[in-house]
Structures are given as C-alpha cells and as structure tokens.
Amino acid sequence: MPENWITSIGLDIGTSTTKFIASQLLISESGNGFSLPSCQIVDRRVTYSSPIYTTPLINDYKIDMDKITCILEREYGNSQIRMENVKAGAIIITGEAAQKENAQSIIHYLADRAGDFVVATAGADLEGILAGKGSGALRRSTQVEGIIANIDIGGGTANVALFQNGRAIQTITFNVGGRLIRLTESGRIVYISDAIQLWLKKNDFYLELGDTLTFPQVQEICNKMSDSMFSFLSGCPQYSAELLLLDSQPTEIFPIDEVIISGGIGQMMRNGPPATIRNVTKYGDIGPQLAHSLNESVHAYSFIFTQAQETTKATVIGAGMQNTEVSGATIYVNEALLPIKNIPICTIPVVEKNHQWEPESFQIRLGDLLEQAGKIYHAKENEPPIALALSNIPNCTYQILQELSTSILEQFRNNFPSSHCLVILCDSDIAKALGQAIARRCHGTLDILCIDQIDFTYGDYIDLGLPVAGESISISVKTLAF
C-alpha cells in the first residue's frame, strides 16, 4: 500500500522555557475489498530537537517577539528544514506565557511565518492532551487497564489530562508551577503570581514583595500546594484546592489509577532534595522544592506513580508529532480550496442521547445552533464561516442521509446567506456520501468540503491541509483561546 512521509515541526513557548522539534510522520493508505480505504499515521520520529531556551520576556507582562522569531529562524536553519516542506505541526504558548499581553498577536505572527501548514495552538485543555501524548501517557493507557493521569507541570500551570483506552476523557488545569513565586538567592520575594494570591491567603501565607522566605517556609508552601492538587485529583480536596483551578471546578473527577508527571518540574523530580534556600532558588524560583514536595506527596495517595518517557519536551513532542490527524480516505473535498486555517468548530449531535433519528428535532436544534453561530462568526470571501461538526451519527440509511443533507443545506443558507463555502466534519464514515448529497441539492452554488474520521472533542478550531495520501488530507484540531 502507498506510504508517504511528511515533515512536522513543534514550537512550545512556555512560562520558563522555549523548545523546538522537527519530526517525520509516516502516512500509510490501506484497504481491501471488504472495507473502506483508510489512511493512518503509522510511524512518528523526532529528527531534530533544539536546545532548551529561556523564554525571552520584555517584562512580567510581555513576551519578546523579536527574540522568539530569532529562535524560530535559527532552529529552522539548525534543523536544515525548508519552510515550504513543512506539512504539519503546532506553535503553542503554554502556562503563564499564554496570559501575557501580547501572546495572541505573537502566536498569529509566528504561525504566518512558520510554514503554510503549521498551526497556532493554545489553551490548557489541548496542551494537557498534547503533553500526555508526548510523555507516553496516552500509549500507556492502551497497555494497562484503568485511567492514566498525565500531569504536565512547568513554570506556571499543571495541565492534567486523563486517558483511558487510548483516548483523552477529561482535562483539568491547576495554577501550580515553579515560577509562580520567584526568589533571589537569599529567598527575597521578587514576584508572586496573581493566580495564587487567594490560595496563599486562604492557607495563611501572607506574602508581600520584598519579604524574605526561609527554607522551612518554602517547604511548607510547596507541600501544601502539592497536597492541594493531589487531594483534588483523588476526589477529597484539601487546603482550598479549588482555588488553584484555572477554570471552574469539574462536576466529577474520574477515578485515577496511575499518575505520570512530565514538564520541567517532572524532570526536577528525578533530582535529589534541596537542602538549603540557595538550593531551592538556583533557578530564581521555587521549582526544585516544588518538585521534591510533589515527589513526597504523590506516594501518600492511592495512585501508582510511573516515570514519564519524556519530561521537559513532552508538550513540544506532542505538538510536533501528535497534533496532526489524517482524515478518512473517502471524503468530499475540492483540493483547490486547500489549505484553510482557523475554522471555528460548531458541534451538534445528530441523534440526542438515547434517542432515535428525528429529522424535525434535528432541524430545530441545528437552526438554533447556526443562528447563534451567525451572531459570532461571519462569512469571509471564499472562506467558510464555521465547520459544522456532526457527532452521534446513527447507522445512516439512504433516507436519513437525504433528510440530514436537506436540513444542513437549508439551515446553513438561512443563517449564512452570503457564504459560498460549507465545511462539515463527521465522526463516522459518511463524508463522501453526505458531501455528494448536499452538492446535488445546492447545484454548484456552494463549495462543499465534507471530512470524516476526525476527533474534534477537545478543539475549538480546525485547519485543513493538503492531501497527504490518496484523497486524505492532514488535519489539525486546536484552540486559539487565551
């Protein structure tokens, strides 16, 4: 069967460090007379890994765009990769770096200069999943029973992704990281993140800039921070753990069987414990002590603790090697329209839970969804305003297919009358048939792109790339939320 190697890159701009990787993805097309043809990424190899850079900042509130651009240009040269040969990958800004004033403008600026098929990705949910893929947690979940939690801890956040049977099932993000408090060699406080101020006060730590912390005080802060996070993940929160959450509290935590810790703090956990305040502050923060506290705390809970295959570069490996998907091999696409970037995803279940196909109900729900989307997203010339993502698709008979296509076309035209391009994503193998059915109805007035075999669960936007094998195209699902 045909095989095709494509080049992918990853650039991770974190709170503390910045990394670049290049990799090769092997795409194989398969199929026989008894099944639909399919394309899969069957091999992924890191071919180049940069040194770890300190993330350049102008001040506490801004990333230095010029220096980041220089890093990207330098690493393209060092890896001997030509920009026009890059087919996939991601640029991500993680942790506290994603909260900087100019983070959003930087990520778009870099995406435009990194290669036509490289996407910009931010957002804690997707970052946690990428780190779990890069650390080996996702693969581990296919080898053992139970739920594997990957906790990627850097300078500003701990991104938690739960995996089971090779799929991400939940994400949680804590304001837990090594650079949330920054110290001089003697322990004098030069920075405290706003994200943990309330948690600190709730736990009777009344810290001010200019105060000097002793070694026992740093130990106590880090011990409580570690126990707060692990107690929350165990389902029995302590020490006002909910105040460390980046977003609102999840309604339910799946029971975790095994924990893997990646990121810079995960790497430090392999070192010995600090013995003095100078040992703690060797990087100008509380990172070494937080790593030791986590090492001690994790064993007090019922989780199995397993070493990560990759720590400091887990996120960038996940971004550069794992962020790309391949569509189904029987899709409905006009190649002349590709590539298309940053299409907002609007998801709707075709069949509601425990219900049968009801065309009238679907039409009403779809109309409501597209009416709301029309207030937010507007059609640009020759570009789709949204990607309509269909989930919970039933066993699709000829009648269901015709009723589905009629509803989609009618409601799309009602809510986006000036648009000339309709993108549909499916989680099952109906793309070609659905695309053809809609195309027959619109009589050439719309460009139709209908793609299947896409997991759009943890993304807000999608990029559609060029064909990589047969009719299949490269796909990157992402989020641009800061």
Per-residue pLDDT averaged across 230-241, rounded?
Answer: 95
Over residues 19-41, mean pLDDT: 69
Are the CB atoms for 179 and 285 separated by under 8 Å? yes
Q: Is 328 helix (H, G, I), strand (E, B) or coil?
A: coil
Residue 1 has pLDDT above 60, yes or no: no
Model confidence at 323, in pLDDT bands (50, 70, 90)?
low
pLDDT of residue 84: 83
**Mean pLDDT value of segment 35-63:** 82
pLDDT of amino acid 470: 67
pLDDT at 398: 92
Confidence of residue 278 (pLDDT cuts 50, 70, 90): very high
Check whether 51 has a pLDDT greater than 60.
yes
CA distance 47 to 135: 17
| Whether pLDDT at 15 is above 90 | no
**pLDDT of 224:** 98
Can you tell me the distance from the alpha carbon of 343 to that of 311, in angstroms, rounded to the nearest whole number?
A: 32
| Lowest-confidence pick of 56-65, 160-169, 300-309, 371-380 | 371-380
Predicted confidence (pLDDT) at residue 34 exceeds the cutoff of 50: no
The CA distance from 41 to 102, in Å, is 35
| pLDDT exceeds 70 at position 388 | yes
Q: How far apart are CA 92 and CA 201, in angstroms?
A: 32
Residue 286 confidence class, pLDDT cut points 50, 70, 90: very high
Residue 243 in contact with residue 202, Cβ under 8 Å? yes
Judged against a pLDDT cut of 50, whether residue 226 lies above it is answered with yes
pLDDT of residue 39: 61
Task: Report the percent of the chain where pLDDT is more than 90.
Answer: 57
Instruction: Write down the pTM of the prediction.
Output: 0.76
Q: Output the six-digit token pair for 443.
A: 């009589």
Q: Average pLDDT, whole number, for the chain?
A: 88
